[in-house]
Amino acid sequence: EVQLVESGGGLVQPGGSLRLSCAASGFTFSDHYMNWVRQAPGKGLEWVGRTRNKANSYTAEYAASVKGRFTISRDDSKNSLYLQMNSLKTEDTAVYYCACGYYYDSSGYYYWGQGTLVTVSS
Amino acid sequence: QSALTQPASVSGSPGQSITISCTGTSSDVGGYNHVSWYQQHPGKAPKLMIYDVSNRPSGVSNRFSGSKSGNTASLTISGLQAEDEADYYCSSYTTSSTLVFGGGTKLTVL
* Chain segment B69-93, per-residue pLDDT in tens: 999 999 999 999 999 999 999 999 9
Question: Closest approach of chain B CAs to the CA of A8, in angstroms?
Answer: 18
Mutation for testing the B interface, residue in A97, A105, A109 having most B CBs under 10 Å: A109
Task: Please give the residue that has the higher pLDDT: either B63 or A104.
Answer: B63
Least Cα separation, residue A52 to chain B (angstroms): 11
Contact across the interface for A106 and B45, Cβ inside 8 Å: no
- In the prediction, which pLDDT does B2 show? 85
Is some CB atom of chain B closer than 8 A to the CB atom of A110?
yes
Q: What is the mean pLDDT of residues A62-66?
A: 97
Q: What angle do CA B36, B40, B41 make, to 5 degrees?
A: 165
The predicted pLDDT at position A107 comes to 87
pLDDT tens, position by position, A14-38: 999 999 999 999 999 999 999 999 9
Dihedral sign from CA coordinates of B14, B64, A95, B33: negative
Q: Is-contact B7 B104, C-beta < 8 A? A: no
Residue A57 above 90 pLDDT?
yes
Residues lower than pLDDT 70 in chain B: none
* Cβ separation B102–A44 shorter than 8 A: yes
Which residue, among B16, B34, B3, B21, has the nearest Cα to B88 in the 3D structure? B21
- pLDDT at residue A42 tops 90: yes
